[in-house]
Amino acid sequence: MASASTNDIEFRSVTKAYGAVTAVTDINLNVPKGAFLALLGPSGCGKTTCLRMIGGFEQPSEGTVLIDGREMNGVPAYRRPVNMVFQHYALFPHFNVAQNVAYGLKQMRPKVGAAEIDRRVAEALEMVRLGGFAKRRIHEMSGGQQQRVALARAIVNRPSVLLLDEPLAALDKKLRSAMQIELQTLQRELGITFVLVTHDQEEALSMADIVCVMSAGRIRQLGTPQEVYDRPADLFVADFVGKTNRIEATMEADGETLRLADGSALSAGKRLVPGAAIAALRPEAIKLTREMTAAGMSFKGTVTHRIFLGSSAEYAVTVPGLGDFLITSDRSSMSENHLVGPGEQVFLGFDPKALHVFPASNA
């Protein structure tokens, strides 16, 4: 039975081609009911195509999309329990706020009564904290307020899935951060499934419960924000989801000893095929000190740049034989290293367990 499904959205071996261009290839995906999924990846990786196939604006070339256990192939957009919020909101400029929000409800068949429409519009505007704005014209609203009108319009007919296509892209940084928190709160309150498309890793990590990292039409990793950040499946994910330092290395014949380009050796912590390898290391996993510390691994280097960011600082350090490293320090470690500057000698200390080792062919 359809309602017995615990997955709100399911992709079964979905491929979509536009003529000679294959936009997504063999996607398998399960999104539990009430989850907040982010489709994250660079431009052209197929995120929007996946979103549009859930919405019914595109049909798969192969495979099946299911919503709440029902196969959706051939079901038109207006028949799906889904609504979409677009990047540029697509509000009607000649309608006021309440008229914009009511629009979808007025089109519904069987007809929804006028009193019920008013009640639901008021409720949706309250949910997005625009209670007093019903009669305002759209051009009298700020960018963030227009975004909330678009959200109210999308939730007013109570879809079971809400699709969001880069909904915060047009907002400035401060407003975007505020809206990230609001969207997450709204999703928790409504309890409906959200699918967000974004190329901004910070946005995906801060809002979603599940992050689907994509590249070139395929899923590279699916996991919680912590999983994709702390245990990237491959070098692409390590690079795309956050910053990373790449250290060239060789996996020795025993499949366990990693020899770095400067000659130092360490245990890789996992078995890999012998040959060229890359060790990825997060900038915040490195501790910068003036004196060599006994614990963990340590490299000696020279600071080439320092960027002071207020609550944190970024350093570029050149290590002979290994190249350039990016290091981020929070305020407490900054006072410890007294804000070392360009030209100064430093030590880069880290726990070898913080290295993520991949075959170089995986780059």
| Total residues at interface with ligand ATP (CB under 6 A) | 12
d(CA 188, CA 175): 20
**Terminal CA-to-CA distance of the chain, rounded, Å?**
44
Among 38, 41, 138, 303, binds ligand ATP (CB under 6 A): 41
Q: Which is nearer to ligand ATP, 77 or 297 (CB)?
A: 77
At its nearest, how many Å lie between ligand ATP and the CB of residue 221? 16
Our finding on whether 199 is near ligand ATP (CB under 6 A) is yes
What's the min distance (Å) between Cβ of 219 and ligand ATP? Answer: 12
Verify binding: residue 265, ligand ATP, rule CB under 6 A.
Answer: no
Pick the closest to residue 236 from 355, 134, 363, 111 (CA basis).
363
Residue 215 in the binding site for ligand ATP (CB under 6 A): no
- Tell the residue number behind the tokens 């996607």, with chain if given: 27
Q: How many whole angstroms separate alpha carbon 88 and alpha carbon 93?
A: 12
The interface mask with ligand ATP, positions 15-34, x = CB under 6 A, is ---x--x-x-----------
DSSP state of 361: G
Locate 146 and state its tokens.
């227009």
Secondary-structure percent of the chain, ordered helix, strand, coil, rounded to 5: 30, 35, 35
49 is an interface residue for ligand ATP by CB under 6 A: yes
Phi then psi for residue 273, to 5 deg, are -65, 140
Identify which range of 39-47, 92-100, 204-212, 233-241 contacts ligand ATP by CB under 6 A.
Answer: 39-47
CB 127 within 8 A of CB 156: no
If one asks whether residue 45 binds ligand ATP (CB under 6 A), the answer comes out as yes
CB of 204 to ligand ATP, least distance (A): 13
Per CB under 6 A, 92 contacts ligand ATP: no
Chain residues binding ligand ATP by CB under 6 A are: 18, 21, 23, 41, 43-49, 199
